[in-house]
Structures are given as C-alpha cells and as structure tokens.
A and B are shown apart, each in its own frame.
Chain A
Amino acid sequence: MKTQILIFVLLLVSVMQSQEKKVTRVGEVTFESKTSIEDIYAKNSQAASIFLLHEKTVAFNVLLRSFKFDKALMQEHFNEKYVHSDKYPSAKFKGVIIDDIDLKSPKKHSDVELDGIMEFHGVTKPIKVTADIVVKSDQSIVFTSVFKLKLEDYKVAVPALMKDKISPEIVVNVRANYK
C-alpha cells in the first residue's frame, strides 16, 4: 500500500512539474540594423527557451552561429569580426515577469514587463524588456518581445569604415511558442 502511495505521489509531482515548465527549441530571434546605406537582417529559428510558470521566469539560449543572413559574407563577418562567436558562442537572456499575471487561464497579456539579465559578447548586463504573452486554451503560451540593444553596451566594436553601414542600436525581435 505504501509503495502504491509513493508511486502515486511521484507521478503527481512529475505531472505538476511538467505543467509548471514549458520549453521550446524553435524560438525565433531576429535582429535588424537599418541605415541609409544598408539594411542588415538575420534570423535564428532554433532559439532554445524555458518558461517556468510558477517562478514567472523565461530563459533563452541563442547560438550566434545559428543566425542566418542573406549574404554569406555578412554571416562570416558577423561571427568572426563582430560577435566573435568562437569565443562567445551564445547570447543568453533570463527575465522575471514583474506584473501580476495569471499564466494558467487563456488570455492575452500585453506589454508585460520583465526584469532580466542579458549575456552577450562576454558582457552581462541588467535589462528591462516588455513582452506580449498569450496563454491559449490548450495551455500553450506565445511569448513575443521587441527591444533594442546598443552595440557599445556589449563591447561590439564597429570599425570606422563601417559606422555608416551598421546602426549603433539594433532591434531584436523574439517569438517563442511554448507547448
């Protein structure tokens, strides 16, 4: 009898844990830099992310070499000359939702604030972002966010010759659909 109760409790804990944690490996992260001379756009469609519902915490791990550019040369330069992805292979974000929102009932929560930490190019900085969070009836969650990153803040050096072609501030779009 004791064994049966133990198995039941373990199963219950396991089910509860799976409900509390949602993951995706197909998160989309794009960034763009727009200047009068050149627009640069890259997309990563395999961002890994975990959403801990009870802690209201989201975490992303984005491999820089998984960003795809239209032009092969831009992709090479991005990895080798700007973000040095051999040395700093990924960008990481971890954020906690400040707002008091219910992540269990179907609803769209707009402009939700997150207090987070961004690790990119060997620099770790606190960052505040806003996101739209949609809780669907099947309990899946869609997380979208748009924010800006200053290259200077993360010690990404742009050569003088390229200053007119690369914006000092890039726009980052994030979309994750947690099942």
Chain B
Amino acid sequence: MKNKVVFGMSFSLLILSAAVYGICLYNKPHIDILETESEMKMTAQKLMDTYTTDKTRFSNELVGMIIEISGIITTIEKGVENTIVILDNTIKCELNSQTEKLKEGQRLKVKGIYSGFDEMFNEISMVRCYVIN
C-alpha cells in the first residue's frame, strides 16, 4: 500500500513537472539582446566582405547571431512602427527604438540579430536592433 502511494505521488510529481516545463517552454521570452553578449563585433563593410567570401557558409553560421555593427548611416527609411537604417550601403538594421535624432552621414553602432541576406537590394538584414553609441 505504501509503495502504491509513493508511486502515485512520484508519478503525479513527474506529470506536474512535465506540465510546468511545457508551460515555461511555451511561454519562454525572446532573447534580451541588450543583456546578451554580442557574438561578433565588426564594421558594416567588414561584415559584408566576410559574408561575400562564402555566402552559403556565412548565411548558415550567422543565423540568429547577435552582432554589433558600426558604420555610417547612408539611408534612413521610416515605417509605421519601425525605422530601417542602412549602414555603409551594406547592412540593413531594423530599429524599434526612437530614432528622431538619427541623420544620414552619422556614425552609428547597433546591436541586433542577423536575419538573412536581402537579394533585392543586396543588403545583410538585421532585426531587433538597438542603438548602442
């Protein structure tokens, strides 16, 4: 009888733990970019040069990577909720933060996540970017 109770309690605990784990996993938050260490730091031009040496290799290696990029703003385009900043005509960074003070020609350092290569404009794309300088 005692064994059955212990087994029952252990089984219930196991099910409960699995449920809690599942709920936590389901609701896990997005990575905190500002609080997470950058996996790569380089200039916009250097990143594009590195990428173009072996597009297939780097497009896979860079996926989901948090990268710190610096360069001169060559284009600013404002959307409804976001702003796109192009650094050195090569890296497209999507900013969610306030960008009223940004101007073309200004040097900028941003931190964000690599999301791919845009073949339409030949630009490396970064999402969830934050200005860090």
Contact = CB atoms under 8 A, between A and B. Distances in A.
Interface of A: 23-26, 28, 45-46, 48-50, 59, 61, 63-66, 68, 71-73, 75, 85-86, 89-90, 177, 179
B120 A61 contact: yes
B59 A46 contact: no
B25 to A, nearest CB: 6
Contact of A65 (B27, B30, B86, B127): B127
A157 B85 CA distance: 36
B116 A72 contact: no
Q: How many residues of B sit at the interface, in one of the four size bands?
A: 20 to 34
- Name which of B78, B79, B82, B127 has the most chain A CB atoms within 10 A of its CB: B79
Interface of B: 25-31, 59-60, 63-64, 77-84, 86, 92, 94, 115-121, 125, 127-128
Main secondary structure of the interface of B (DSSP, over half): mixed
Main secondary structure of the interface of A (DSSP, over half): strand
A118 to B, nearest CB: 15
Contact of A71 (B27, B115, B125): B27
B116 A90 contact: yes
Given A48-B118, A71-B27, A89-B117, A65 B94 contact: no
A140 to B, nearest CB: 12
B31 A72 contact: yes
